[in-house]
Amino acid sequence: MINETVADVLAEQTPPPERDALAEYLALRERIAELDAVTREAKKRMDAIEQIVIEDWAERGRQNVKQNGELIYVHRELFVNVPAANRPAVLDAVRLLGMDELVDTPDPTVPTGKLKTRIREWIKDDNVPDEINGLVNIVQKSVLRTRKA
C-alpha cells in the first residue's frame, strides 16, 4: 500500500514524459510560426533592396560586386509558358519555322524545356519570331545571386 501511495504522489507531482514532449512540441510550433513571420518580413525587405540594386546597376552598367568574401551578381531568369489553348498553334509554328527537332513524337508536342532553350538563343540574337512570340508567354526577370568570391 505504501508503494502505491508513493507512486500516486510521484505521478501527480511530475508530468509524464508524454506531457513534456507535447508541451515542447507546441512551444516549438509557436517558435517556428514566429520565425516564419520574421523570415517573411526579411524576405520582403530583401526583395525591395534587390530591385533598388538591380535598377541602380542597370543605370551604371554594373553586373557584379565583391563584398565580404561574396560575389553578388545579376542573374537573368527566363520563364516560358505555353498556354494549353496555344499548344497546337505552337506546334504548327515550330514546324512552319522548320524546327522539327523541337517536336517530340509519337504524340507530337513541343516540350517547354526545348522551346525555352531555343527562345533563350533567339533573345540573345534579339530575334524571337513573331509566330512564336504571340503564342508563348515569355518573362525575363533579373535577380541578385551570390556565391563565394
Place of cell 530591385: 51
Both 112 and 97 in one domain: the answer is yes
Both 86 and 53 in one domain: the answer is no
Burial of 134 (0-12, 13-18, 19+ CB in 10 A): exposed
| pLDDT at residue 100 in the model | 85
pLDDT in tens, 26-48: 999 999 999 999 999 999 999 99
Per the structure, the count of domains in the chain is: 2
Both 136 and 84 in one domain: the answer is yes
pLDDT in tens, 76-127: 999 999 999 999 999 999 888 888 888 887 778 888 888 999 999 999 998 8
Mean pLDDT of 136-145: 94
Both 46 and 97 in one domain: the answer is no
Q: Residue 25: which domain range? A: 1-62
Q: Considering the entire predicted model, what is its pTM?
A: 0.65
The phi, psi pair for 98, rounded to 5°, reads 75, 30
Both 50 and 84 in one domain: the answer is no
